[in-house]
Amino acid sequence: MSDLFGSTRTVVKLRYALFTPDGFVPSNLPGWKNAACVVNISPALGARFTQMHVTLGKEGTGEGNTGRYQHFFYVIEGAGTVGLEDKRHRLEPGSYVYLPPGKDMQIKNSSAEMRILVLQKPYEAQKTTPAPGTIVSHARDVKGQPFLGNEDARLQVLLPDQPAFDMAVNIFTYQPGATLPFVEAHIMEHGLLMLAGQGIYRLESDWHPVQAGDVIWMAPYCPQWFVAMGKTPASYIYYKDVNRDPM
């Protein structure tokens, strides 16, 4: 199949955006070495968080301090390690790391190429609840629960659903033909990466075919719905702001 020049599925609107890998343009960012950092979603787009797709080349590294932000890393492909204050942890596809504000970290690639999803958000502290601690885990250790009773649409909640956390990161896996049960329209914002399969995403009043590798930003209140299509399950990992007063 050949794509006609000058065409793309990428679309940027006021309340949502779909980014397809053919349009990704890397930046060199402070702290990252031998790394291509594609900033897919950021405040420049109107979002209140940042979502990046980082590809580390041979012996590529990323290091720094989270400062007033919290960081979330999810390994899409390849292998390496993350050095934290306690020790170095091995990373493989499906590994994820949550870091609260003020933490030092160093990620090192030990494979030919390592691809990581990176989410960054300012942490909204609460007087009564201490900030969360660091989490290093793997998606296979988080059981998928049927979404609103549907066995064919399963949700893995990667971070504890507790008031200390002001962000959620979930993996949604749909069997072919399974759907979001209704068109959602909510105050929470989403950053989404398609991990596998394909389907149709409804965003506002538009319908977009999507597949593994695509990225979507949904602003607060953007009407949204999904149906998985094709012969294999579709899954996506997504960010959501949670547990804070809107005022």
Q: Which chain residues interact with ligand UGY by CB under 6 A?
A: 172, 180, 184, 190, 224, 240
Q: Of 208 and 240, which CB lies nearer to ligand UGY in the complex structure?
A: 240
Single residue of 179, 184, 204, 225 touching Mn ion by CB under 5 A: 184
CB of 238 to Mn ion, least distance (A): 8
Q: Minimal CB distance to ligand UGY: which residue?
A: 224
CB of 190 to ligand UGY, least distance (A): 6
Using CB under 5 A as the binding rule, whether residue 204 contacts Mn ion is answered as no
Q: Of 152 and 184, which CB lies nearer to Mn ion in the complex structure?
A: 184
Judged by CB under 5 A, the stretch of 96-104, 122-130, 147-155, 176-184 that binds Mn ion is 176-184
Judged by CB under 5 A, the stretch of 53-61, 167-175, 184-192, 197-205 that binds Mn ion is 184-192
Using CB under 5 A as the binding rule, whether residue 152 contacts Mn ion is answered as no
Cβ 228 vs Cβ 197: under 8 Å: yes
Q: Of 60 and 191, which CB lies nearer to ligand UGY in the complex structure?
A: 191
180 contacts which partner out of Mn ion, ligand UGY, none, CB within 5 to 8 A by kind?
A: ligand UGY
Which residue type is seen at 130?
A: P
CB of 190 to Mn ion, least distance (A): 6
Total interface residues for Mn ion by CB under 5 A: 1
Q: Of 53 and 190, which CB lies nearer to ligand UGY in the complex structure?
A: 190
Q: Of 83 and 220, which CB lies nearer to ligand UGY in the complex structure?
A: 220
CB of 175 to Mn ion, least distance (A): 19
Q: Which string of DSSP letters, residue by residue, matches the chain?
A: --PPTT--S-EE-SSEEEE-GGG---B--TTEEEEEEEEEE-GGGT-SSEEEEEEEEEEEEEEEE-TTEEEEEEEEES-EEEE-SS-EEEE-TTEEEEE-TT-EEEEEE-SS-EEEEEEEEE---BTTBPPP--EEEEGGGS--EEETTEEEEEEEE-S--STT-SEEEEEEEE-TT-B-SS-B--S--EEEEEEESEEEEEETTEEEEEETT-EEEE-TT--EEEEEESSS-EEEEEEEE-SS---
- What's the N-to-C CA distance of the chain in angstroms? 50
Q: What are phi and psi of 228, to 5 degrees?
A: -80, 140
Q: Which of 70, 41, 197 is nearest to 133 (CA)?
A: 70
Token digits of residue 109: 């690639």
Q: Of 63 and 184, which CB lies nearer to Mn ion in the complex structure?
A: 184
Q: Of 53 and 154, which CB lies nearer to ligand UGY in the complex structure?
A: 154
Q: Minimal CB distance to Mn ion: which residue?
A: 184
